[in-house]
Amino acid sequence: MFGCPAAGNPAQYLFERLIEAAGLDWRFLTFDVAPDRVIEAINGASAMGFRGCLLSGPLRSAALSGLASASPTAIFSGAVSLIERQASGLVGHMTDGRGMMEALRPHIDPTGMRVLIVGAGAAARAAALELSLARVAEILICDRTPDRAAALVESLKALDAAPARAIDWQAVVEIPSEVGIVISAVPAESVQPKGLKPTVELTGIRSDLVVADFALVTQPSPVVACALKGNACAIDGLEIHCEKTAIDWHTWTGLECDTDMLREALDEYLNA
């Protein structure tokens, strides 16, 4: 795993548990890499025979230009979360959106639903693509940077799949009554000693909503707490991250894994 910074990332802890459970004679290593050296780092990992690597933070967008090829989701997102070494060279994937979809499906079939996505960064773009391919009825994008929201809307329209439009960013975002799924892809800002401060507040939470939040935090994020208070179905960032990790593991090994075990391991790591 290459990070900037790498400290605090649970990838090594989770993958070492998976490696042990599968009985593989493998190792997982973590490195700090500066964004302007990430191409050198991934080429070095390939030269040394590594199966691949995970990327976090600013390295995700910086790595894209140094790959032999990339998945449609990575290209659409403009970011790479996982690199796989194949005979043809290094291949980049963006698995955040697929992880979100796997976490979502046990709770609701998104087909024909209207979706609000809060955020328009790489994770939001990956989620938007997966939802569009799942044939949702409409995707609404809300981002603090109007140009970024508009760019995602135009990218979605070019797919000729689900209709998309932007809604205004406000300090408090009202969830439109026609929306059935809310995806939050903006980070929660840590504030001490009061815990987590919401980057954006949502109002209009209903019991028939499904709300998913990418924020990887131990306590309920502000978005998840708001959803639970409104009796909505809440999917937290831990659930999404476990599904994403299972996808990454399968990409490298071809093996399935126990996501319940991953959730327990992630809880252990974040509460240590």
Domains and CATH numbers, the chain: 2-94+239-271 (3.40.50.10860), 97-235 (3.40.50.720)
Q: What is the pLDDT of residues 53-70, one digit of tens each?
A: 999 999 999 999 999 999
Question: How confident is the model over 89-101, as pLDDT tens digits?
Answer: 999 999 999 999 9
Tokens of residue 245, six digits: 């990790």
CB atoms within 10 A of CB 55: 27
> Would you state the pLDDT for residue 156?
96
CA distances from 54 to 10, 21, 59, 117, 224 (A): 11, 20, 10, 25, 27
Question: What's the pLDDT at 129?
Answer: 97
Model pTM? 0.94
Task: Write down the H helix ranges in the chain.
Answer: 11-22, 38-47, 59-62, 72-77, 96-104, 122-133, 146-159, 222-229, 237-253, 259-271
* Whole-number pLDDT of residue 192: 37
- DSSP3 helix / strand / coil % (the chain, rounded to 5): 40, 20, 40
pLDDT at 2: 97
Residue 85 has pLDDT above 80, yes or no: yes
The CA dihedral of 251, 252, 253, 256, to the nearest 10 degrees, is -40
Q: Please give the C-alpha separations between residue 52 and each of 84, 95, 97, 254, in angstroms, as whole numbers.
A: 5, 14, 20, 14
Residue carrying the six token digits 């910086």: 62
Average pLDDT over residues 14-29: 96
Q: Specify whether the CB–CB gap between 210 and 181 falls below 8 A.
A: yes
User: Tens of pLDDT along 33-52?
Assistant: 999 999 999 999 999 999 99
Average pLDDT score, the chain? 93
**Residues 17, 3: Cα–Cα separation, whole Å:** 20
C-alpha distances (whole Å) from 59 to each of 52, 62, 202 are 15, 5, 30
d(CA 140, CA 103): 20
Q: What percent of the chain has pLDDT over 70?
A: 95
Cα–Cα distance for residue pair 243/260, rounded to 1 Å: 10
Distance between CA atoms of residues 62 and 72, nearest Å: 17
Confidence bin at 197 (pLDDT 50/70/90): low
What's the pLDDT tens digit per position in 104-135?
A: 999 999 999 999 999 999 999 999 999 999 99
